[in-house]
Structure 1
Amino acid sequence: MPNTDDFRVKRIQKMLLEMAKGNFFYTIEPSDKNDNIASLVVMLNMVNEEIGAAFIHQGFANAHNTPQCIIQLSLILNSQGKVELVTNGTCSLLACMPKDLIGKQITEFMTEKSQKTWSKKMIKHLKRDRSETVLFLELITNDGLILAQDCQISVYQALDGSGQKILLNSVFFSKGEPFETGLPKNKLKVTKGIKEHKVTLSQEDIEMIREVHDMILNNLDKDLPSLKDLALQMGTNEYKLKYGFKQIYGTTIFRFLTQERLRKSKTLIQHSNLSLKEIAYMNGFKSAAHFSRAFRDKYGKTPTELRG
């Protein structure tokens, strides 16, 4: 994992954003450096732990007035430890797309310490047809944050004869939405125009669309699949995904992606020393010309003019 000063600061920024959203289950892996950034990381982890513990305690003590969000990490692996199935919640937690997880070794997303723990413990459990245990694992997100959590590990034989499978589960407690969203609790009528394109969204549909929103924010450097393929990945249909997203967030999925890419690019131009080419690439723009044209259309200046 890179450990440059810029990367360390970016992890701190990402951690602060997650805390602002009410997610207190992430930490930053301490480095062996002894500088101001390292001290800030230690203090931030301590503050995060204290706030998270206070919120969880308050939630149990006063559950009616303090809503909790239970986020499930769940993966199915084959006996070699390769990911075969993954939930949408897991992708949101690890800030990646399903295709970035499926087919990969689970140890690729672990710290070195957890890789050793996994390799040592799973040898014994895979010798049995059925086995259950709890392992404390540290998973690394796409942003370099750490998910340190007790994970329930279940080894079982697949009914289709495909051999042993490993089920990895964990539960995260969160404060939930930090601000009032104004969304109704049961159903939301979605319309386009006056009487056209009526869709009924359940609470599960709304949560699914929020996951798409978060997935886009966490993967601005990647191209989205087609709406049809994205809907299939999220377990819904293209129609509901398309019009539901527009009603909740006021814009289309692909327009939102472009807006967020440009917004992040503007921040990096103003507050980083990255080259314009690097900024364009890391935000999903295929060419400097395309980036410059889109940026000028949005902000009235080219990236070069803004930085100059």
Structure 2
Amino acid sequence: MPENQKKERLEYLYRLLSENAQAYDACLPGDALKSERRNSLRESMDSIAETMLSVMLDYRMPFRKNRRAELVQMVFLLDGQHSVACFSSAASAVLKFRGSALRRQPFGSLLCAHSQEMWNRVIGRKPGSAGIDAYLPLHFNDANGRIVPALCYITSLLPYGNIIVNASATLYVKRTRAAVQGKSDSATAEIPAPVREVHDYILSHLDQPLPALRQLAGKFGIAEHSLKSGFRREFNAGIHGFYNEHRLLRAMGQIRHTDMPLKEIAFACGFNSYLNFYKAFVKQFGHSPSGERHRP
């Protein structure tokens, strides 16, 4: 694995551990926190986190590829009906729900239609003794109808019957000149509307071929060069690269959590041939689609 990918994965795992530790303190009932097994798990998490922090310091981390991007961990504790019983402050901030508006919301209602299908497949399986343990990309709808993509780790909280969803989302913030000059710590400006609309359009149409840049620019009323440069500036990726990455993440989720034939998944994710899908998947993840399906 390339050195930069090792660093990115390490940073993600460290944040995941840290946020999960906070979620246990904030969400679990008091008697659960007294459990010897739970305390042992927490101690193990703390030990691993300390080791990872030491390695991160050796790497001179944390770092970010995009200064406008913040990696945010949203944590949801779901009850037996899969409704939100408790959530981290980051969840309400990223999804723009005020106060306790997220509480008692069916978790599936927070997701886009395609992600709802993936979610229902995961929770619809009859869990074994180990319960649910899944890792997949999901797209949330925030309170304003905008799409928020996230990589989610979903696990059963045994023996209590709850589910914890730890969602890692990238929050894009464009800093104003005042903030950059240090005159304001909180001054921010929204991403330009046409660029944000193209972003949301791509995520909503991953099952379709990507329109040409000229067509996208005309559809959303922005000059081609402004769209191309603006998208890369805000999301640190070219339009086609962004589209390709997210449709491959969707394909990975379908491979792991559905029984769909690989060729059907390829076409469902906008590829016009299985060969093109195969090559793109291997380039992105370093192994074949069939290898992904048979991974433990």
The answer to whether TM tops 0.5 is no
TM-score by length of 2: 0.41
TM-score by length of 1: 0.39
